[in-house]
Amino acid sequence: MDYRELDPFAEGFFENEDAETAERVGLSLLRAAPYIKIGFDRNIMPTVDARSHGFGGGFSYGMGFNYDGSDRDEKIAEHPEFKDRIMEYDRKYQQYMAAAHDLPRYEKYNALQGACALWGGGWAGHSNPDFGRVINLGTDGIRELIEEYREINTYDSDWFYRGCGYTLDAIDILGDRFRELAVKLAAECGDPADKKRYEDAARAFEVVPRKPAYDFTSACLCFWMIFTLDGVDSPGRFDQYMRRAYELSDDREAVLDALSRVWECFHDTRTWNLCISGSDEHWNDKTNGLSFDILKIARERKYETPNLTMRVHRNTPERLWDEAAETLASGIGMPAIYNDEVVCDALEKVGIPPHDSHQYCMNGCNQIDIMGKSHMGLEDGEVVFGKCLEYALWDGFNDITGRRESIPTGDASTFTEYEQMERAFMRQLDYITYMACEASNMCQQTRAIWQPNPLRSCLIEGCLERGIDYRNGGPLYNHGQILAEAIADTGDSLWAMKKLVFTEKKYTMAQLLDALKANFDGYDELYHDFSHCEKFGNDSEEVDAITSKIINRFFRVLKRNHTYRGGVFTGGCSPDDRAAYYGANIAALPNGKKKGEPLIADSIAAVPGCDTCGPTSHINSVLRYDHKNCCSGFIFQMKFDKKVFCTPKGKEAFKHLAKSFFEGGGQQYTVTVVSPEELLDAKVHPEKHRDLIVRVGGFSGYFVDLDEGLQDNVIARSFIDMGV
């Protein structure tokens, strides 16, 4: 056995230690390509597993070049003849990976992160490479781009282009291996339908990936090979870059078969975000036949993945709205719907021109990226507004641990005017936001140095054109995204203090702080007054004005901070499954939240259960935010009783409500269609509701798989009376 079979990544990477890192990564992929684990999965789609399986080194979109040494001793026992080499590479791997993950953070940041006030950096995030480059140009077409831009960028960038070239060579080797494997499996297969699929794959890989795909089946096969090599992230605008091959295909049965198999693969791998439809810079609609096929298969399969999103605008065809309503009625919580009129304007405000702003899509849960042109939708960090307020109330101390973790902003018991309280909160918010940006930039710099990604550099515009790696500012757009959490909780709390302490003077700040310290025990009247004070989500101009003011402050502070990659930070609200965890780590707040309670706002909407005046009032409150300030997903989610939603009148009412929301300036709209009885019974009898899907923050998930805090959060979110 050749050692290269045991760890080909190491051979390619460490035998070239004098080369630049991006070139070494390309060499490691090239050396590993003949040995990387490949196969046709149960759907007869070509799957690449370039992670660390069967040997030490690996490659994935998140980690780039990486190492898993957990089976080192097992490998030595199995191959004692390679012991010295395994130990040598293990030492080199350990040194390299230690440097790649050595973030120079400091005690203050660690304390804030541990207290659930923020996080910044720490993971690689998501992205939207243009898989259409391989499907529609082929690797030969990308090589032509490399040669074109190599001539232009005459400074010392040959090493970068060599790394990209090695990566393309590796892709071609994988294609050849799949062709050989498909021929073999076709000869062995006894099932006529599967035999034809293998034969189709063998024929396809005679052309792809070197040349463009010639029909939808060959495009899907090429896509899945590249998508799995990249590490299974977000397909992005699938209905756009697959459109050419889709429209070349005359065999409708073959098209649906290929789409069905890809959809099963998406589900099997927990693929992230696929986006359909949208507009161009002239507001021409980009919906096509594949867009409708995707909505249809999503509602038929009823899977919780991939995260399906749909873009709408002034010229969206009514048929697309109808198909979206039908798909939502299936109960999968998708598609999430985005408003081009708001998103494109927000992107243009940070310097992205219309011809590119209209190329946006989502990745991960709902971070916004420019398809194949940016490295900015990766969730760079998060700030928990409720914790910032806690620090403002306690002069920078954590009321749960008793430790000072943030800056001093004054003894709140001495505050005699509301402006003092608000100013203390804003200072805490500014500081925590700066800390999140700073930590994110440390992480960005470390990854740029140690984890270049020549595969994505080939697939994202700007990298080849500039001769700069994907992680180091190569893409055209490199903005960052820091998310907000517990917005409404904070707005409700500030308003309650303004009204009850500083305006009506029914209580003093000292009395309120005593009650908060006691977790409201023994303060029944005060607790009643504060917990029943007006809340965001009920069309109260005073509460909404305060809540809007604090999120606008957050966005302004972010845009003053530059990313290491070469953009500015922007913001959004995408709580994912973290809301209940954050809630449990926030002390008692003046809105009536008690210490350790997990229930906090899980989107830009009201705290679940606090919107008591109906959907119109709730929407009016949410529309008082300036949605054009945010360049990441700004999640607004509502829950509908399926007995009503699934009627013709219910679907029409939904469309009217959604269109009104978007016409009023809303960015994003997400729906859960379920009955109250189902949710309650699913907590008691989870075995009866394994297929119950709900919307959680930016994704859909099986209700019974959520932790209890998140389940309670979903249940508490008010059902919409549609008036039908």
pLDDT digits (tens, 9 = 90+) for 203-236: 999 999 999 999 999 999 999 999 999 999 999 9
What is the 8-class DSSP label of residue 263?
H
Give the residue among 405, 353, 462, 394 at the shortest CA–CA distance from 127.
462
Alpha carbons 550 and 548: distance in angstroms, whole number: 6
pLDDT digits (tens, 9 = 90+) for 156-206: 899 999 999 999 999 999 999 999 999 999 999 999 999 999 999 999 999
Alpha carbons 639 and 605: distance in angstroms, whole number: 12
Alpha carbons 268 and 232: distance in angstroms, whole number: 11
pLDDT digits (tens, 9 = 90+) for 504-559: 999 999 999 999 999 999 999 999 999 999 999 999 999 999 999 999 999 999 99
Average pLDDT over residues 327-345: 96
647 contacts: CB under 8 Å, gap ≥ 6: 724
| Res 701: pLDDT | 72
Give the residue among 513, 490, 505 at the shortest CA–CA distance from 394.
513
| Res 721: pLDDT | 59
What is the 8-class DSSP label of residue 103?
-
| Res 703: pLDDT | 78
Average pLDDT over residues 344-370: 96
User: pTM here?
Assistant: 0.93
Alpha carbons 370 and 285: distance in angstroms, whole number: 18
Mean pLDDT of the chain, nearest integer: 93
Hey, what are 694's tokens? Answer: 């709900």
The answer to whether 671 touches 695, Cβ cutoff 8 Å, is: yes
Average pLDDT over residues 588-604: 94
Q: Which residues are registered as beta bridge partners of 485?
A: 384
| Res 156: pLDDT | 84
CA distances to 6, 152, 219, 577, 591 from 381, rounded to whole Å, are 38, 36, 35, 15, 26
Q: Say yes or no to pLDDT of 5 above 80.
A: no
Q: Which residues are registered as beta bridge partners of 397?
A: 404
Burial of residue 647, with CB atoms counted within 10 A of its CB: 0-12 exposed, 13-18 middle, 19 or more buried: middle
Average pLDDT over residues 358-365: 94
Q: Say yes or no to pLDDT of 702 above 90.
A: no
| Helix, strand, coil content of the chain in percent (nearest 5) | 50, 10, 35
- Residue burial 143-172, b: 16+ Cβ < 10 Å; e: rest: bebbeebbeebeeebeebbbbbbbbbbbbb
Q: Say yes or no to pLDDT of 621 above 90.
A: yes
Give the residue among 2, 31, 37 at the shortest CA–CA distance from 14.
31
Average pLDDT over residues 395-415: 97
Taking the alpha carbons of 525, 526, 531, 535 in that order, is the dihedral positive or negative?
positive
Give the residue among 389, 395, 384, 404 at the shortest CA–CA distance from 111.
404
Higher pLDDT, 397 or 94: 397
The answer to whether 498 touches 418, Cβ cutoff 8 Å, is: yes
| Res 699: pLDDT | 66
Alpha carbons 177 and 340: distance in angstroms, whole number: 42
Hey, what are 276's tokens? Answer: 């359909």
Hey, what are 554's tokens? Answer: 């957050």
Give the residue among 413, 411, 384 at the shortest CA–CA distance from 397.
411
Alpha carbons 96 and 453: distance in angstroms, whole number: 16
Alpha carbons 652 and 147: distance in angstroms, whole number: 54
Tokens 């270049």 correspond to what residue? 452
Average pLDDT over residues 244-262: 98
Alpha carbons 613 and 539: distance in angstroms, whole number: 8
Give the residue among 347, 353, 302, 362 at the shortest CA–CA distance from 328.
302
What is the 8-class DSSP label of residue 687?
G
Q: Say yes or no to pLDDT of 52 above 70.
A: no
| Res 54: pLDDT | 52
Q: Say yes or no to pLDDT of 722 above 70.
A: no
Hey, what are 548's tokens? Answer: 């809007």
